[in-house]
Amino acid sequence: MKINNFLELKDFQRIIIENEKIELDDTLLARVDASFQFLKEFSKNKVIYGVNTGFGPMAQFKISDEDTHQLQYNLIRSHSSGIGNPLPAAEVKACMLARLNTLSLGNSGVHQSVVNLLKELINRDIIPLIFEHGGVGASGDLVQLAHLALVLIGEGEVFYKGERKSTKQVFEIENLQPIQVEIREGLALMNGTSVMSGIGAVNAYKANQLTNISIKLSCAINEIVQAYDDHLSEALNGTKLHEGQQKIAAKMRDHLSDSQLIRKRADHLYTHFEEQEKVFKEKVQEYYSLRCVPQILGPVLDTLEYTEKVLENEINSANDNPIINVEDQHVYHGGNFHGDYISLEMDKLKIVVTKLTMLAERQLNYLLNAKINEILPPFVNLGKLGFNFGMQGVQFTATSTTAESQMLSNPMYVHSIPNNNDNQDIVSMGTNAAVICRKVIENAFEVLTIEAITIVQAIEYLGFQDKVSSATKELYDEIRKIIPAFSDDMVMYPYLEEVKKYLKAM
């Protein structure tokens, strides 16, 4: 893929998820060079933050010409101070792509070597060691991006072919040259929202997967109980003017289009009223976790689509400081590195993913509680009641995991703590928000895994394999390849892991 101007999020995710190689368009390189040449000339005999001044609260200190390059190296090394778990490879790769994209806009004054080396690291799957814990997301992801900059100057560590190695060693193997600081490469690399945005892009991709899986499982449960179709109808959902709700209902109708189990209310409850018993044998309406899926997943979809728009805007924005404007022949000082846009979206996304998880947990409970569903044995136990346990054990896992997500859904966005000698007196905590959102997403995959296995067991018990929709049958067949129908108790965790892998690959 050739990169030049606007990078759409779907293209961004193709590069990260599908490992598509990238090229840099000649006009992009010319734009980067024009910005670099302008800043090199403009910064002579002028006070430019981060070029010939100290940083943050020490910006009042003038830096002599002979020390300006060393200043950048000092900044990178001193801020390579992260700790905790390393970020997953996909997220680091996304971070590098986001940084490359914003630096290529020509508003940063960096040398071409920066974007060229970033391109090579992405294409060769050389993954810088970046830790979860670090920046507060106000002068951007300072600490995490310092670890990226550290690799670009040939220091620090990377993950290479599954091993953690020194950058110097890997660069020698791959015949790569580190960048040389020319003007402000250290600050330009470190000031920005690229880590939170990169993690956010991966989160959005996975949240899309979860939404689609939740729709499939919700459809399957409606089939299991032979629900009426009017709660999914275009007529009903069209009376509420939320696009997400209408889209979810349409997806469910499409999924269930060839099901033999979904019923028409008019065929059962709108005829022969006088012949009905005083207590209806047929359930008039389903529980909310079955009937209100469009209304519950609709806000999830609406939020996700807006989050994707914000992410796309951010990765195509100049988000460092100062901003170099070649057209105006001026350098503007401001705060484009502040991460509030991403922080808020990550909080919103984790909230709706938690709600999706809660929906799955309630649907699971419906299937497991024979007193509620009245069609399945307790815990969808296909063995001997009282002797075997069915899906009883895994419900504890689903319940505790859902509870953790509920706790994690408290917002980071409002947890600003002043620091940096109060220079950064209000911060975004954007990367923290993105990392916690990722955890909530992983939890959701685990709960949906348990729900999916339970649904397949329920279909088995009822003998509905040939009556469910073709889409549900495909899901049934794929999960059955992983876990056979079981009546005897067995160790579940290996199957949970494999079904989770299958869902994450959908």
**8 Å CB contact between 130 and 95:** yes
Phi, psi of 107 (to 5 degrees): -110, 15
* Residue whose C-alpha is closest to residue 302's, from 259, 341, 345, 269: 345
CA distances 350 to 37, 90, 261, Å, are 43, 19, 34
The Cβ of residue 439 has, within 10 Å, a number of other Cβ atoms equal to 13
The torsion region of residue 32 among left (phi > 0), alpha (psi -120 to 50) and beta comes to alpha
- Residues forming a β-bridge with 3: 24
**8 Å CB contact between 157 and 167:** yes
CA atoms of 248 and 264, how far apart (whole Å): 20
Q: Where are the beta strands (DSSP E) in 154-229?
A: 157-160, 163-166
Residue 382: what residue type? L
Instruction: Find the length of the chain.
Output: 506
CA atoms of 276 and 268, how far apart (whole Å): 10
Reported as half-sphere exposure (CB side, CA atoms, 13 A), residue 331 has a value of 21
CA atoms of 379 and 395, how far apart (whole Å): 9
* Residue whose C-alpha is closest to residue 108's, from 318, 370, 390: 318
**8 Å CB contact between 447 and 210:** no
Q: Any idea which residues carry the catalytic annotation?
A: 49
3-state secondary structure of 128: strand
380: tokens are 């969808």
Element (H, E) at 86: strand 83-86
Phi, psi of 348 (to 5 degrees): -65, -40
**8 Å CB contact between 322 and 332:** yes
Cis peptide bond prior to 57, omega within 30° of 0: no
